[in-house]
Chain A
Amino acid sequence: MATASAPARQATGVRGHRKPNRSGYFFVAGYVVLLIAFGIGPTLYAFWLSISNSRGQLVGLGNFTRTFTDYRFAAAFTHIMVYVVIWLVTLMVLVVSLALMLHGRMHRTSAALRFLFYLPGALAGVASVVLWLILLDPTNSPVGFILRAFGWDSLATVILPSHLPVIFTIIAFWTGAGGWIIVVYGALNSIPPELVEAARVDGASIFQIARMIQIPLLRKWIAYMLILAFATGTQLFVEPQLVSTASFGMIPDGWSPNQLSYLYAFQAGDFNGAAALAVDLLFIGLASATVVVFRGGLFERE
């Protein structure tokens, strides 16, 4: 998270070619201290753990090859890959289209709807998962009839392994998308109204305006959203962990890579293997962030 958001901040913070002001250092100092203490420090420690063993000897890539051959490794990364693809696509499509709709035609209800979208995000992550556990149990759920319409008559049939990526996407969208809708809405506000006005005069339909003007101008914001959503997505932990506990273990305890890392550390007492998995995730996150940053032109100045 921290590694992904730092460059993004930089990109939005730099403006024009004013002379650097010393007081700036003071203002970022608080953030930098926290970043070092809770971001960079632990990352370096994890990196050290991942290349050493419990006796403090350097072992090179041993921990990485060892965890790579673990029977749960491929399964966990496949699960998370399927989930991240579904989650990013739905997030991108729905957030952008909802924001465009709010911004375009729904002036009167827009403020109320924005508040409504944002509301679930105000619930803490764990609380929202617990809420979903009730929603997903056909016996107690207020929307149980929808679940039964699919032929699922118990929690056990709802949370069959093949349904999980979609279920986690729904939970994540419900909790996280509201904030992004507001961010993208704000970004739409920054598009000069003359541009949209001119296009309209030229006879462009709302779809053409969205496709040719608004979305291209939102590119950086969407890229920013993708980087952060990718980072949170690959670190999925609370959702599978809680659903697993609530179903008495119907979801394997190493469903996501983060859970697997947790198992390494706290079930096997193998902090080095756990660190190796964490570093794997770090590299995957960094690599995809790099791709999005350069392809999305996040660092380009206008």
Chain B
Amino acid sequence: MRTKMVGAIAVVGAALALSACGSADPAPAPSAKADQFAPAAQDEAGEITVWADATRVPVVKAYQKAHPEAKIKLVTYSGNANGATDLQTKVQLFDRTGNGWPDVAFSATLSDTAWAAFGDKPYAAPVDKVIDKSVLDGFAPGALDPCKVGAGTYCVRNDLAQVVLWYNKKLLDKFGYTLPTTWEEYQALGEKVAKEHPGYLVGTAGDPWAPEIYLWASQCPASTVTEAKNVTVDLKNANCSRMVGMLDKLIANKAMSKAGVFDAGFIKNQASKVLLMPGPSWFGQVLFNSTFKIPKGEIAAGAPLKFASDTATYTGNVGGGVWYISSHSKNLKTAGDLVSWVTTADEAQANAVTYPAYTKAAALWLTKQRDSGYFAADISPAFTQAAEQVWPGWSATQYSQEAIYASTVVPALNKDQTIASTIDAWQTAITNKATSLGYKVN
């Protein structure tokens, strides 16, 4: 009986092995062609479904209030923050069942375009076919770059997350230090802090987005997508090692923490000891004000740092949400109207938590920040300058650089290893992940 079964299994196995007539490779995802966008049959009075995260719910509600005629079904979801992939997961399932796509979706993950704009019938509609060009032209220069695939634009940027140099003005004045303007001065100050005021910090390296703060600003080619699915990953480039060397030194003398800024332990014990911290624009309100609860009048933002040998200053970017319009939507008019309102209208953006990507709203937002009196100095110069200095050589990819850093480098740091010692493993991890998703790695 048992030998018969084994025989049967062997026969089935052999049959399977021989019967292969198609290739097992997954179908390649062709990039979307904006000029071939064919909308579904439209119904301008129809209801639209909007997916937004908790932070963005009030703004959608405000739109509903201002436009009572629009029929909106609002669904709160994770917003794809912190490495969640709900939107992609659900869209993959909707693609299989053939219905259910949200007409409008907010995502806190900039790299979502890397899947949303690809496929046979991509989820994301080219917004330049739905929203007026004059509206799109009003966004900060480069703000829509992460949304661009080929000639089309597939999302609308909600906010910018340019990296500036946050500092605690009260502490800095107390210690009698001056704000650094180059990375060299920054490192020197870090070494001085370690000696003169041990325990105080000039930054953190344990956040998943640390590469986006430091390596991006250093113009390290860790994630440069050249065309369609060709990506350059070169962590051994001199532009990377100069930054990695600096981080390792500062970590070794404890001027830079190995923790992440949202770690419960960090918030409890070290938040008040942050002297300097390169970080994205949203750190101001989200981190220093709401999470660290640093009192009014202490925190300020300085311009991004540059390397003395570089001619131009470049900075990094951590996140920045985007809005998608579904290519399957039956009411593109309302969907497009909602997306342009929530990203550009003064009522929508002036009081937002994050720095608006729409230039006109950003100016108003900065005035509001000044009026709030939270910051120790006007943050406008640093913010506007940094917004234009984001290095364009770092591309959004279908995989998350943050997740790779968090699972490869952060555990090593916690075992007292240096970042430099993980470079090979890190490079391999990125290459493997990219290859598994169909990228060609150079």
Contact = CB atoms under 8 A, between A and B. Distances in A.
Interface of A: 51-55, 57-63, 65-66, 70-72, 137-140, 153-157, 160-161, 244-245, 247-253, 265-273
12 contacts: A51-B16, A61-B17, A62-B23, A66-B24, A72-B436, A248-B402, A250-B410, A253-B403, A265-B92, A269-B29, A269-B119, A273-B26
Contacts of A272: 24, 26
Contact of A248 (B27, B207, B398): B207
A267 B88 contact: yes
A54 B85 contact: no
Given A155-B265, A160-B414, A248 B24 contact: no
B432 to A, nearest CB: 5
B173 interface: no
B32 to A, nearest CB: 14
A265 B29 CA distance: 14
B260 interface: yes
B84 interface: yes
Contacts of A59: 20-24
B96 A271 contact: yes
B42 interface: no
B20 A62 contact: yes
Contact of B265 (A154, A253, A270): A154
B414 A156 contact: yes
Contacts of A271: 96
Interface string B95-136: 110000000000000000001000100000000000000000
A60 B207 CA distance: 44
Contacts of B21: 57-59
A173 B241 CA distance: 45
A269 B406 CA distance: 24
B82 A248 contact: yes
B82 A139 contact: no
List 5 A-B pairs, minimum CB-CB distance, nearest first: A62-B24, A57-B22, A60-B20, A249-B406, A249-B403
B437 A53 contact: no
Interface in B4-47: 13, 16-27, 29
B96 A54 contact: no
B45 to A, nearest CB: 34
Chain B interface size, under 10 / 10 to 19 / 20 to 34 / 35 or more = 35 or more
A51 B13 CA distance: 11
Contacts of B432: 71-72
B101 to A, nearest CB: 15
A52 B262 CA distance: 45
A60 B208 contact: no
Contacts of A156: 206, 258-260, 263, 410-411, 414
Nearest to B259: A154
A60 B17 CA distance: 5
A249 B17 contact: no
Given A53-B24, A59-B20, A63-B24, 19 more contacts: A52-B22, A53-B23, A55-B22, A58-B20, A60-B17, A61-B17, A65-B24, A139-B265, A140-B264, A156-B258, A160-B414, A249-B83, A249-B407, A250-B407, A266-B88, A266-B89, A266-B92, A268-B437, A269-B115
Contacts of B415: 160
A138 B265 contact: yes
Nearest to B22: A57
B331 interface: no
A267 B23 contact: no
A250 B265 contact: no
B82 A245 contact: yes
B263 A54 contact: no
Contacts of A244: 83, 407
Given A245-B82, A252-B407, A54 B264 contact: no
B20 to A, nearest CB: 3
B354 interface: no
A139 B89 CA distance: 33
Given A71-B436, A250-B410, A269 B92 contact: yes
Nearest to B408: A252
Contact of A249 (B115, B262, B400): B400
B273 to A, nearest CB: 15
B23 A266 contact: no
B9 to A, nearest CB: 10
A138 B268 CA distance: 12
A67 to B, nearest CB: 9
B168 to A, nearest CB: 22
A51 B17 CA distance: 10
B403 A137 contact: no
A248 B323 CA distance: 23
A250 B400 CA distance: 12
